[in-house]
Amino acid sequence: MNAIEGLMWLMGGVLVGMAGIFIYFQRKVSTVIQEKTLYQERASRLPEVSALLLKREEELRLLGERNAELRTALHRTEKESKEKLTLLENIQTQWEDKFKTISSEALSLTNKSFLELANATLEKFQEVAQNDLSHRQQAISDLVKPVTASLHTVDQKIIELEKSRMSAYAVLKHQVNELLVSQKQLKSETSNLVNALKAPSVRGRWGEMQLRRVVEMAGMLNYCDFEEQVSSSESDGRLRPDLIINLPGEKKIIVDAKAPLSAYLEALEAKDEDVRLEKLKDHARQVRNHIRALSKRSYHEQFQPAPEFVVLFLPGETFFSAALEQDPSLIEAGVEDRIILATPTTLIALLRAVAYGWRHEHLADNAKEISELGRELHKRLSDMADHFSRLGRQLGGAVQSYNSAMGSLEHRVLSSARRFKELGSVSEAAEIVLLDPLDQTPRELQAPELKKVG
């Protein structure tokens, strides 16, 4: 009885230990979930580690699934333990009944025989119970060991994640500081540029530089004529263009880079929003007035043939967008007056299109030259074929003369010369070699292209 009660207490201790393990895992998982939430909040501020956090979330999800499996195993173990306890109680009842039966049937037996039988039975039962307990402990250890390893791995990953977060935060802080420094430098340089562009001469020179850069980027330097240091007007009142784009067919496109920018620069320096808006409207009006002024100039009379259209070049995208925002009909107004507004981007596209036209022009010229060379080559091949034909006829005549000479040599000369050998007047080693006639004739030209026409 004491052994059975000890076994029951042992099973109860196992159940309590398993419950403690369950509580420990539950708290550990709760702690991991809380840490996960904390790191998710941190990750929202650090996009660079979001992918790593997603991976950790997947590991935590797998750990949760593993925990659910452990809970199921724990419930199953508790159920099996209860069944074992019930079985032990049944066994105890059965043994009590057996003991009562044995005591009633074995009154004749000695106390020693009864004790030996009881001890043997109890030892066997204790051995079975001990083996079963060892197997249960091993099974619980096998279940707990992967969870412990997984928790250790999660702790290590969390430590690595914290290190990565700190490193990423340091890098982000450094980049933000560099961005602030760059922004300050850009603001200072922008201010210097605005101050420099206030001078008309500097503004004009800057526009010319931007125009030349655009032409260089488009690869059109060979087809564009620049007018450096442009004066305000010529003696007859006509303004010279800043750039002439040469088109195939001796046509031209005129580019004027003297766009008004003073109102826009004043808008950049304005502190009040209303003042800035008014200056931007002035900028749009200045651009429209400049379009009208260009349409009245004599560019179409100054160049022959007359240019297709005149391009008003604005040396920056912002100059164009600011004017168009205040006056959306600027493009239509320019088209009506044959004035095209262009920024560096659109002018590059225009120049690329012109370059494409020049490539086609060169291809056409090359095709024409190739055609002329082909005709000349065909004529020369025909002449060469005629020379080869005459050479073949002459070679045929030479072969015929050779065969005639060889026949005459064989029948008229060598027949007499062999008589010297018969008469013994020459040595045996002096043998006259017989010559074979030539039966090959030059091949005639068969290709119709190589036959002389006419």
Sequence ranges of the domains in the chain: 2-167, 207-342, 363-446
Question: Where does the pLDDT of residue 164 fall: very low under 50, low under 70, confident under 90, or very high at 90 and above?
Answer: confident
Sign of CA dihedral 313, 316, 322, 328: positive
Whether the pLDDT of residue 285 is over 70: the answer is yes
Among the residue ranges 262-276, 315-329, 399-413, the one predicted with the least confidence is 399-413
Angle at 315 between CA 312 and CA 319, to 5 degrees: 90
Among the residue ranges 71-75, 146-150, 229-233, the one predicted with the least confidence is 229-233
Average pLDDT over residues 410-415: 69
Whether the pLDDT of residue 340 is over 80: the answer is yes
Give residue for tokens 């499996």. Answer: 69
Note if the pTM is more than 0.85: no
Average pLDDT over residues 342-371: 79
Average pLDDT over residues 371-379: 74
Angle at 224 between CA 220 and CA 229, to 5 degrees: 125
Question: Where does the pLDDT of residue 232 fall: very low under 50, low under 70, confident under 90, or very high at 90 and above?
Answer: very low
Cα–Cα distance, 319 to 287 (Å, whole number): 10
Whether the pLDDT of residue 179 is over 70: the answer is no
How many beta carbons lie within 10 A of that of residue 44, not counting itself? 10
Whether the pLDDT of residue 149 is over 60: the answer is yes
pLDDT at 119: 61
Instruction: Name 362's Cβ contacts closer than 8 Å, sequence gap at least 6.
Output: none
Highest mean pLDDT among 9-13, 93-97, 215-219, 324-328: 324-328
Question: Where does the pLDDT of residue 146 fall: very low under 50, low under 70, confident under 90, or very high at 90 and above?
Answer: low
Task: Identify residue 302 by its one-letter amino acid code.
Answer: Q
Cα–Cα distance, 126 to 39 (Å, whole number): 53
pLDDT at 122: 57
Whether the pLDDT of residue 323 is over 60: the answer is yes
Instruction: Name 147's Cβ contacts closer than 8 Å, sequence gap at least 6.
Output: 25, 66, 67, 70
Asked whether the beta carbons of 338 and 310 are under 8 A apart, the reply is yes
Output the CA–CA distances (angstroms, integers) from residue 236 to 171, 239, 291, 303, in the order listed. 65, 9, 21, 14
Pick 435 or 325 by higher pLDDT: 325
Average pLDDT over residues 402-414: 70
How many beta carbons lie within 10 A of that of residue 59, not counting itself? 15
Could you tell me the fold of the domain covering 207-342?
Answer: Trna Endonuclease; Chain: A, domain 1 (3.40.1350)
Angle at 384 between CA 382 and CA 388, to 5 degrees: 115
Enumerate helices (H) and strands (E) in the chain, giving the number of each.
Answer: 11, 5
Pick 69 or 231 by higher pLDDT: 69
Task: Identify residue 72 by its one-letter amino acid code.
Answer: T
CA 216 to chain centre: 28
pLDDT at 325: 86
- Sheet containing 310-313: give its strands across: 224-226, 243-247, 251-256, 310-313, 339-342
End-to-end CA distance of the chain: 137
Asked whether the beta carbons of 242 and 207 are under 8 A apart, the reply is yes
pLDDT at 172: 67
pLDDT at 233: 45
Q: What is the mean pLDDT of the chain?
A: 70
pLDDT at 201: 53
pLDDT at 454: 40
Question: Where does the pLDDT of residue 66 fall: very low under 50, low under 70, confident under 90, or very high at 90 and above?
Answer: confident
pLDDT at 231: 39
Average pLDDT over residues 46-58: 68
Highest mean pLDDT among 108-122, 323-337, 414-428: 323-337
pLDDT at 234: 45
What percent of the chain shows pLDDT beyond 70?
52
pLDDT at 311: 83
pLDDT at 46: 62
25: which DSSP letter?
H
Instruction: Name 195's Cβ contacts closer than 8 Å, sequence gap at least 6.
Output: none
Whether the pLDDT of residue 332 is over 80: the answer is yes
pLDDT at 341: 87
DSSP notation for 67-123: HHHHHHHHHHHHHHHHHHHHHHHHHHHHHHHHHHHHHHH-TTS-HHHHHHHHHHHHH
Asked whether the beta carbons of 290 and 261 are under 8 A apart, the reply is no
pLDDT at 265: 76
Give residue for tokens 């309590």. Answer: 16
